[in-house]
C-alpha cells in the first residue's frame, strides 16, 4: 500500500472506531459533542489537538474538514432508534444529528471531496424504525449522492464475550469486486426484510456485502474480570436484594450454580417487566459466559452486575469500567475517565473495536484498494 487510508470519525466518542481501523488508517478529522467523551479521546490520542473538534455537528461546515477522505465513519446517536427508547426515528432530537453529518457530506460532494466510502453504525432498531421509513430515508440520501449501499447486522459476541448486535450500513461509489459481494451470515432476516421493504429504485442500489465469520472466540466473561481483591463487593444484604428481584426461573439458575463445586460467574441486568398489568423491576441472570449488552449508566438499574456462585456461596458486585472496556475490545492501556459511571458511559456508548477491525480488513480495505475505487479519487 502506497499510503495510509484516511478517514473522518463523526460522533467519535472515545475513538473506538479509530482504534479498530488500526495503524494503516490516518484520522483527518474527528468530532463529538459530549465533553466527557471528548476528554477521553484527547487522553488517548496524542495527535487529537490537530484534528479533534468538540461541538455540535450542526455547527460544522465543509471548510472545517480537511482533505478528501477515503472513509467517513458515523456512529450517530442511537437513542431514537433503540428498541428500549421512544423510537422517534430520524426526526428525533438525537438521531437527527445524522442529518447534521449528512449535510457535511453533501457539502464535500459539491466541492469534489466526498468520501469514497461511508459506514453508518447504529442499533438494529433502525431496520424497523417507523415501519422502515427511517432506513429508506437514509438509503435515499445515500443514493442521491451516487452511493450504493448495503447493511450487515453484526453481533460483537463473535469477537468479545458481550451480546451486542449492531447495524452497519456500508456505502461506496466504486463497483465492489466480486469477492466482496454474495451471501453472508450477517445478512440477517431483519436485514433481508428491510431490503424487501425498500422501493425498487433503492433496491437497485443495494449491495449484498459478503463478510466472512471470524474464527471461534476463545474468551468468555471470566477472562476479562479483574482480581477479586481489586474490586468492591456488594454487602450480603445487597446481594440478597438482587436475588429477591429475580423471577423463579432465574433464582433456580442461581441456586443450581451455588450448589456446584466450582465457581460460575453470571451477568445480571435489572429490567422492568409487565406482570399482571403492572410494571415490576426484575433482575435477570445469564451463566452462558457472556455479558449482556453494555449500556450507558443513567442510574443504578442500568449498570450491569456480576454474580459469582459456587461452593454453597453467592456473591455479587458491579461490572467495573475496565471490565466494560475489555468487553468492547479495548486494550488495557486505554485511558478511561475517573469514576465508575464515567467509564461505563464511554465504554457503553461505543462500537466494539474488533468488529471495526474485521469490517475494515474484509470489506473496507479491499474495497478501497480496487482499481475502480482508486480511479474514483
Alpha helices per DSSP H over the chain: 16-21, 35-44, 48-51, 97-110, 133-144, 189-197, 200-203, 236-244, 248-258, 321-327, 340-348, 353-359, 365-369, 371-375
| pLDDT, averaged across the chain | 91
* Cell triple for 109: 460532494
In 3D, which of 52, 2, 40, 49 has the Cα closest to residue 24?
2
Alpha-carbon span 234 to 284, nearest angstrom: 17
CA–CA distance from 377 to each of 14, 178, 182, 318, 342 (Å)?
29, 21, 26, 49, 41
Contacts of 111 by beta carbon, 8 Å cutoff, 6+ apart: 62
pLDDT score for 83: 39
* pTM for this predicted structure: 0.92
pLDDT score for 302: 65
* Cell triple for 60: 460544522
With a pLDDT cut of 70, the percent of the chain lying above it is 92
Residue 104: how many other CB atoms lie within 10 Å:
25
Rg of the chain over Cα atoms, rounded to whole angstroms, equals: 22
Which domains, and CATH codes, for the chain? Answer: 5-215+348-375 (3.40.50.150), 227-319 (no CATH)
pLDDT score for 101: 92
pLDDT score for 353: 98
**20-78 residue pLDDT tens:** 999 999 999 999 999 999 999 999 999 999 999 999 999 999 999 999 999 999 998 76
Burial 50-75, CB ≥16 within 10 A → b, else e: ebbbbeebeebeeeebeeebbbbbbb
**229-268 residue pLDDT tens:** 999 999 999 999 999 999 999 999 999 999 999 899 999 9
Alpha-carbon span 209 to 181, nearest angstrom: 5
* Cell triple for 144: 442521491
* Cell triple for 100: 447534521
Amino acid at each position: 500500500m502506497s499510503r495510509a487510508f484516511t478517514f473522518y470519525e463523526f460522533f467519535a466518542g472515545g475513538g473506538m472506531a479509530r482504534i479498530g481501523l488500526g495503524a494503516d488508517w490516518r484520522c483527518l478529522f474527528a468530532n463529538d459533542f459530549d465533553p466527557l467523551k471528548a476528554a477521553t479521546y484527547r487522553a488517548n490520542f496524542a495527535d487529537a489537538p490537530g484534528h479533534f473538534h468538540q461541538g455540535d455537528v450542526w455547527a460544522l461546515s465543509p471548510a472545517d474538514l480537511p482533505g478528501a477522505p477515503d472513509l467517513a465513519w458515523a456512529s450517530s446517536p442511537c437513542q431514537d432508534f433503540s428498541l428500549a427508547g421512544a423510537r422517534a426515528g430520524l426526526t428525533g432530537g438525537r438521531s437527527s444529528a445524522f442529518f447534521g453529518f449528512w449535510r457535511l457530506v453533501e457539502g464535500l460532494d459539491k466541492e469534489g471531496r466526498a468520501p469514497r466510502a461511508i459506514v453508518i453504525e447504529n442499533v438494529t432498531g433502525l431496520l424497523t424504525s417507523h415501519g422502515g421509513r427511517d432506513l429508506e430515508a437514509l438509503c435515499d440520501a445515500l443514493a442521491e449522492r451516487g452511493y450504493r449501499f448495503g447493511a450487515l447486522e453484526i453481533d460483537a459476541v463473535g469477537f468479545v464475550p458481550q451480546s451486542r448486535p449492531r447495524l452497519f450500513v456500508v456505502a461506496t461509489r466504486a463497483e465492489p469486486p466480486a469477492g466482496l459481494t454474495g451471501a453472508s451470515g450477517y445478512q440477517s432476516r431483519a436485514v433481508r426484510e428491510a431490503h424487501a421493504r425498500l422501493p425498487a429504485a433503492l433496491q437497485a442500489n443495494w449491495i449484498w456485502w459478503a463478510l466472512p465469520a471470524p474464527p471461534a472466540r476463545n474468551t468468555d466473561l471470566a477472562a476479562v474480570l479483574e482480581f477479586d481483591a481489586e474490586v468492591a463487593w456488594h454487602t450480603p444484604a445487597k446481594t440478597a436484594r438482587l436475588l429477591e428481584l429475580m423471577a423463579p426461573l432465574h433464582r433456580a439458575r442461581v441456586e443450581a450454580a451455588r450448589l456446584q463445586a466450582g465457581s460460575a460467574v453470571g451477568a445480571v441486568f435489572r429490567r422492568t417487566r409487565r406482570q399482571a398489568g403492572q410494571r415490576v423491576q426484575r433482575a435477570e441472570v445469564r451463566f452462558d459466559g457472556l455479558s449482556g449488552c453494555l449500556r450507558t449508566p443513567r442510574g443504578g438499574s442500568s449498570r450491569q452486575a456480576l454474580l459469582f456462585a459456587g461452593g454453597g456461596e453467592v456473591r455479587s458486585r458491579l461490572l467495573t469500567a475496565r471490565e466494560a472496556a475489555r468487553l468492547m475490545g479495548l486494550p488495557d492501556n486505554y485511558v478511561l475517565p475517573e469514576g465508575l459511571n464515567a467509564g461505563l458511559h464511554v465504554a457503553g456508548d461505543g462500537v466494539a473495536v474488533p468488529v471495526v477491525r474485521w469490517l475494515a480488513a474484509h470489506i473496507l480495505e479491499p474495497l478501497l484498494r480496487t482499481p475502480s475505487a482508486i480511479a474514483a479519487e
